[in-house]
Amino acid sequence: MKPALRPPTITDVATAAGVSPMTVSRVLNGRGGAGEETRQRVLEVAQALNYRPNAFAQSLKNDRSNTVGIVVPDIVNPFFPEIIRGAELVARPAGYTLLSCNVIEDPEREEEVLGTLLDKRVDGVIICSARLDDERLLHAIAPHRAVVLINRSAAKRHAGTIEVDYRSGVEAAVTQLVAQGRRRFGFAAGLASSHGGRKRREGIEAVLARHGLALVFDAPCTPDIKGGAEIAARLLPEAARLDTVVCYNDLIALGLMKPLERAGVRVPEDIAIIGCDDIPAASLVSPALTTLRIAKQDLGEMAMRMLLDRIAGRNAQQGIVIEPDLIWRATTPTL
């Protein structure tokens, strides 16, 4: 068996070009110090040999890896790939490689991944909808050079933040439904560890309290279609007590709708349903889902720009709050 061919080194380029390794280094790093003929010869030889600089060695020398991480709770949820896409659109032109990490809604894995990214010497990290509690999250991000949190608050010395104002969005939707005569609200709350879930509940309860009402159904579930089906199983025996269900996200709402239909519960006549996120399927199901729309790609782009600023030591913009848009469709009564 032939031994594997080793990748070419800077010494190989220097020997083939008839110059010193120092000259090759200066040419490839754009530092000058060589005539035009020598520069062209070095570049041609490097290309012919398919020479690639040792990125790890360069990162040690420059204290930069030109990589950044993005951590999401569940890559299967259509909400998060669009955020990753937006982040990638900003990172790549800036010369950064984006490492995407899926923690499958597991706080332990989230903590482990943040440690792994630190070991990989990433220059910064974006964390979407962190599931760690405040103390563990702050401990995990403290060693990182630059951090941006999406849908989580933190002091500016710890991280830049971009938050969606779910509370005001839910308040607007519930206010409309109360004005239409809806009184018996339920909440399919998602994970108990979700910061955004707590904000949604606050929005519902604020409106209901103003009208002397209270939630008649409030249950946690996984933030996916299976979670919606589980909510349906719990909700159906007491469906007559409800006329509206606000869901943590669209996936839960979609998982809830089919069991209701099979049970003969009409949407929205018997129970109105509201989702959150406006994933593509929300407008394709029948009846089409009323939801809160977040510009997810824009969210990723904003987060990456903020992260690059923090990597560069420019921390002028510490926090952004985004207002979601209420998209009124057929799972709620006509306005």
CATH 3.40.50.150 fits 63-165+296-325, yes or no: no
Using one digit for the tens of pLDDT, what is the confidence trace for 277-328?
999 999 999 999 999 999 999 999 999 999 999 999 887 667 899 999 999 9
Tell me where in the chain the CATH 1.10.260.40 domain(s) lie: 10-53
Q: How far apart are the first and last CA of the chain?
A: 75
State yes or no: pLDDT of 34 exceeds 90: no
Q: Which of 142-146, 243-247, 249-253 has the lowest mean pLDDT?
A: 142-146
DSSP 330: T
Answer whether 302's CB lies under 8 Å from 164's CB.
Answer: no
**The pLDDT value given to residue 97:** 94
Tell me where in the chain the CATH 3.40.50.2300 domain(s) lie: 63-165+296-325, 166-294
**The pLDDT value given to residue 243:** 97
DSSP 7: P
State yes or no: pLDDT of 4 exceeds 80: no
**Cα–Cα dist 335/332, whole Å:** 8
Answer whether 310's CB lies under 8 Å from 160's CB.
Answer: yes
Beta bridge partners of 326: 292
Listed in order, strand segments (DSSP E) in the chain are 67-72, 97-102, 124-128, 147-150, 160-164, 185-188, 217-219, 244-247, 272-274, 291-293, 319-322, 325-327
Q: Check the CA dihedral 79-75-73-287 and report its sign.
A: positive
Answer whether 182's CB lies under 8 Å from 244's CB.
Answer: yes
Prediction pTM value: 0.81
DSSP 27: H
Collapsing DSSP to helix, strand or coil, 319 comes out as strand
State yes or no: pLDDT of 33 exceeds 90: no
Using one digit for the tens of pLDDT, what is the confidence trace for 117-142?
998 899 999 999 999 999 999 999 99
**The pLDDT value given to residue 27:** 79
**Cα–Cα dist 176/298, whole Å:** 27
Q: CB under 8 Å to 60, separation ≥6 — which residues? A: none
CATH 1.10.260.40 fits 10-53, yes or no: yes
Place of tokens 């030109």: 66
Q: Which CATH number fits domain 166-294: 3.40.50.1100, 3.40.50.2300, 3.80.30.20, 1.10.10.10?
A: 3.40.50.2300
Q: Which string of b and e fits 259-287 if b means at least 16 CB within 10 Å? A: bbeeeebebbeebbbbbbbbbebbeebee
State yes or no: pLDDT of 2 exceeds 50: no
